[in-house]
Structure 1
Amino acid sequence: MFTPEEFIGVITREIRKLNVKCAVAAVSGGVDSTTSAVVARLALGDKLIPVLFDTGFMRLNETSEIINNLTGLLPIRLIDVKEEFYRAMINMSDAEEKRLAFRSTFYNVLSRVVKDNDCDWVVQGTIAPDWIETTGGIKTQHNVLAQLGIETDKVYGFKLLEPLKDLYKDQVRVLARFLKIPSAVTERQPFPGPGLSIRAVGRLTMEKLEVTRWSTRIVEERLSGLGLSQWFAAVWEDNRTTSDELSKRIKDLGSGLTVDVFSIKGTGVKGDSREYGSVALVRGKLSSWSDVFNLYSRLTYGTNVTHVIYELASKGASGGYFAAIRAVVTDDYMTANVPMLSESLLSSIADELMSNKLINAVGFDVTPKPPATIEFE
């Protein structure tokens, strides 16, 4: 059984044995990195320098909200590095290329901060699912280095301290509550390190990024307070073709049902392997709303489909963007289920998203993990 008090005692003793001159803590505002920094500060005191990078891929007003949440808890320094990340990643399309480019840019920036402050260590909030998914080849988490054999002291000029690397998300939340970290942090839904850059699916452009940022705020506000583990919007070009083969698999579930396949790809996990496959869209009227939660099993089995989406609204025009509503419930983030949200609620959110002239259609992702991953990239 996980005991926060015992864990803190053990980990702070281990940190104090390291003879740290100075450590930079990379804080994102989420529960993992914040808790990691607070634990490290118990051991290191003023030798710890917590920093928050504004990568340009954060949500609307997120940097100011994070700083407000951490006031009195950590002496956070905000560093604007948007232009560096934009130069490195704008116009990239492939999911793994985006993640790798983000990681490279992130650690180049971080190593510069370490050097400027004459530090020798970096503290980060890596937890078990991060390195399990990365070493398993499912998708690269930007904060996984040592587990891949990357010697950070030789490559980046700092040693790496990961106090939470053997914990899972539910254990981290227990630890954070014990440390009296504000609920705005402990109950905050996870947000990927690369942020909106991997929710603007496919080719990354400034326009798509801003549509994703706008859509995210609506979905997060409308689905808050429902007991969900993670909920967000993803956006991509509404380019698709109809698949007669996939359409046949669901024709008995309603009238006029058609399956389209988007030109972009989405990351999934089948067996123990990563699948970078098709994203399917179901259009038409289901006989029963409950059938929406059975669509994925019909369309992912024996195919390369990783995400299945049910269309909620469409302008019927060509071009523009497609906005996907994604929501899951999970304890450990290794597996996740899709909550049985009502059609009326989702349709109402879709109508609000459709008010954006750049959005052509909206749908609800009905795929659990596995076979999908929680994120699209």
Structure 2
Amino acid sequence: MHEKIVILDYGSQYTQLIARRVREAGVYSEIHPCTLTPDEVAALRPKGLILSGGPCSVYDPGAPQLPREMLELRREDGSPLPVLGICYGLQAMAQTLGGAVERADRREFGRAHLQIDDDSDLFAGVPSGTTVWMSHGDHLTRLPEGFEVIAHTENAPIAAVRAVDRPLYGVQFHPEVVHTDYGRQILQNFALRICGCRGDWTPASFIEEKIAEVRERVGDEHVILGLSGGVDSSVAAVLLHRALGDRLTCIFVDNGLLRKGEAAQVVATFRDHFHIRLKAVDAGALFLSRLEGVVDPEQKRKIIGATFIEVFEQATEELTRELGRRPRFLAQGTLYPDVIESVSFRGPSATIKTHHNVGGLPEKLNFEIIEPFRELFKDEVRAIGRLLQVPEVILHRHPFPGPGLAVRVIGPVTKERLDLLREADAIFIEELQRHGLYDQVWQAFAVLLPVQTVGVMGDERTYEYVCALRAVTSVDGMTADWARLPHEFLAHVSNRIVNEVRGINRAVYDISSKPPATIEWE
């Protein structure tokens, strides 16, 4: 049994980042809802407890609270259970123990410089003045009895606290996000130094445990997997193929919304390279007919999701006839960012947008779902893929949205507009690879805008579409910054697109970060 740190989710969009940072320290972590009782937490036998941030104010009616008993739990060896409160978690801890939390006169969102007053445990190895990421409108105005301040910022006199006589800690900032320079060190200090964990959880152990788990669950039944050809579903396919062999069949639906040459590449890769059973369906005409005249991005996603299910079900019926029995399990390459942006995963998180591969499967399909990567991030899946010897050309592919180019064609989706976008996107990606920039960005793509502008080509006036280029840097997709690509490079790409793609006469570059924008435009 791996040592475990339990994270109680109070609804932060960053909760899984906490788990990710703890896992980077080699410690297994689990996220559970903040509604768990102290007895239920104790039954999980954690070595430590982390309280996440959240969107509420602790003094709001109905805001999730923290029972005092949660802060008095003991571990199996009888020692006090270490607790770390992050943002809302700190405020909930302080309020429960008699401190005061009030609305701040000045909200604090973004970077701040943390002045460390004590670096003996939580901040060991962290230099004073380091950059941290703030995101709060409330703050502590009075410490609970027996607590002391161990760090502050210019705007937050109480930026980090510690109980004097027990292992209770709290920080007002978010150590889990990449914008906090030493955030990984802080959470590692909590997991290893304060909680005393050994740090023996690795991607290799994850693979072994997941293969054993899948084999035990599936038995002699058959599994089908919706294959897109992206990193997530590709690594899931290889993992499940290693576990199940020919009892896995991948179904690839060409929805007509893929990038240039992508459908042929997927079929060749999985049939010829991996030798995985693959059923390919060309349904592009059907998807385009359903999307005709649709502008709203949420409606696009719902139509694509519903049509995908319809086509997938037909392919499953054909497979059932071939196998002589209906597959019992459906596998998906769902990652946590898909989940947390779509549903309240394990706490009261806010919905940002709907992802077509999360939920939404009608009960009539009667599948049991297998999602081996449901609580992992993209780079963790890539690490697992390398151990499974998945080719780097697949592992390094940029993320691609489930609805495909439909959410990169802003406005109505037509074959003509898709073809324009494919050509522009292919040029952008080709030049990124040629200039050695592709692997330096997390995601890059072109977007076709629903506006036309006047241009001049030769002696003629043109009135054609605008193409937006988007490239971002990120570690996990939860936050992202726009990539500072060289101006000469952007000029070269723009020149190629305008000259080679008849129908586009202007290119612009998106310099928005996430937040406040999302990576995709729709």
TM-score (norm 2): 0.55
Taking CA–CA contacts closer than 8 Å with sequence separation of 6 or more, which of the two structures ends up with the larger relative contact order?
1
Q: Which residue does 2:258 correspond to in 1?
A: 58
Residue 319 of structure 1 and its aligned partner are, at CA, apart by 4.2
Q: Which residue does 1:128 correspond to in 2?
A: 336
Residue 153 of structure 1 and its aligned partner are, at CA, apart by 6.7
Which residues of 2 match residues 164-183 of structure 1 at below 5 A?
164-183=373-392
Q: Which residue does 2:112 correspond to in 1?
A: none
Residue 5 of structure 1 and its aligned partner are, at CA, apart by 1.9
Residue 36 of structure 1 and its aligned partner are, at CA, apart by 1.0
Contact persistence 2:255–2:284 (CA under 8 A): yes
Q: Distance in 2 between matches of 1:207 and 1:80?
A: 18
Q: Which residue does 1:291 correspond to in 2?
A: none
Which residues of 2 match residues 165-314 of structure 1 at below 5 A?
165-224=374-433, 225-226=436-437, 227-238=440-451
Contact persistence 1:32–1:126 (CA under 8 A): yes
Contact persistence 1:238–1:360 (CA under 8 A): no
Q: Deviations over 1:186-238 (max 9, x none)?
A: 11111111111111111112211111111111111112231111111110222
Match of 2:354 among 130, 140, 161: 140
Contact persistence 2:251–2:312 (CA under 8 A): no
Q: Distance in 2 between matches of 1:184 and 1:176?
A: 11
- 1:341 aligns to 2:500 (yes or no): no
State the secondary structure of the residue aligned to 2:481. Answer: coil
Q: Which residue does 2:506 correspond to in 1?
A: 361
Which residues of 2 match residues 7-22 of structure 1 at below 5 A?
7-19=206-218, 21-22=221-222
Stretches of structure 2 that go unaligned for 5 or more consecutive residues are: 1-25, 27-200, 320-325, 344-349
Residue 331 of structure 1 and its aligned partner are, at CA, apart by 0.9
State the secondary structure of the residue aligned to 2:240. Answer: helix
Residue 318 of structure 1 and its aligned partner are, at CA, apart by 7.3
Q: Which residue does 1:246 correspond to in 2?
A: none
Q: Distance in 1 between matches of 2:465 and 2:518?
A: 22
Which residues of 2 match residues 52-131 of structure 1 at below 5 A?
52-70=252-270, 71-73=272-274, 74-117=276-319, 118-131=326-339
Q: Distance in 2 between matches of 1:120 and 1:353?
A: 47
Residue 345 of structure 1 and its aligned partner are, at CA, apart by 1.1
Q: Distance in 1 between matches of 2:362 and 2:246?
A: 22
Q: Distance in 2 between matches of 1:327 and 1:19?
A: 40
Q: Deviations over 1:140-174 (max 9, x none)?
A: 111101xxxx5x47232322111110101110000
Q: Distance in 2 between matches of 1:143 and 1:222?
A: 31
Q: Distance in 2 between matches of 1:57 and 1:153?
A: 23
Q: Distance in 1 between matches of 2:307 and 2:335?
A: 21
Q: Distance in 2 between matches of 1:153 and 1:194?
A: 18
State the secondary structure of the residue aligned to 1:17. Answer: helix
Q: Deviations over 1:270-294 (max 9, x none)?
A: xxxxxxxxxxxxxxxxxxxxxxxxx
Q: Distance in 1 between matches of 2:260 and 2:441?
A: 20
Residues 336-345 or 93-102, more deviating: 336-345
Q: Deviations over 1:78-97 (max 9, x none)?
A: 21111221122122111111
Which residues of 2 match residues 315-330 of structure 1 at below 5 A?
315=456, 319-330=463-474
Q: Deviations over 1:20-72 (max 9, x none)?
A: 52111111111100111111222222111012211101111112222333333
Match of 2:233 among 2, 19, 33: 33
Residue 111 of structure 1 and its aligned partner are, at CA, apart by 2.1
Contact persistence 1:121–1:158 (CA under 8 A): yes
Residue 351 of structure 1 and its aligned partner are, at CA, apart by 1.2
Q: Which residue does 1:46 correspond to in 2?
A: 246
Contact persistence 1:89–1:101 (CA under 8 A): yes
State the secondary structure of the residue aligned to 2:507. Answer: strand
Q: Distance in 2 between matches of 1:188 and 1:41?
A: 21
Over 3 Å counting, the alpha-carbon distance change for 1:167 and 1:314 in structure 2 is farther
Q: Distance in 2 between matches of 1:12 and 1:41?
A: 10
State the secondary structure of the residue aligned to 1:369. Answer: coil
Alignment RMSD? 2.0
State the secondary structure of the residue aligned to 1:180. Answer: coil
Residue 130 of structure 1 and its aligned partner are, at CA, apart by 0.6
Q: Distance in 2 between matches of 1:90 and 1:177?
A: 41
Contact persistence 1:122–1:159 (CA under 8 A): yes
**4+ residue runs over 3 A deviation:** 313-319
Over 3 Å counting, the alpha-carbon distance change for 1:19 and 1:327 in structure 2 is closer
Which residue identity lines up with residue 312 of structure 2 in the other structure?
A: L
Residues 93-102 or 114-123, more deviating: 114-123
Q: Distance in 2 between matches of 1:155 and 1:234?
A: 36
Contact persistence 1:228–1:328 (CA under 8 A): yes
State the secondary structure of the residue aligned to 2:204. Answer: helix
Q: Which residue does 1:5 correspond to in 2?
A: 204
Which residue identity lines up with residue 31 of structure 1 in the other structure?
A: V
Contact persistence 1:22–1:120 (CA under 8 A): yes
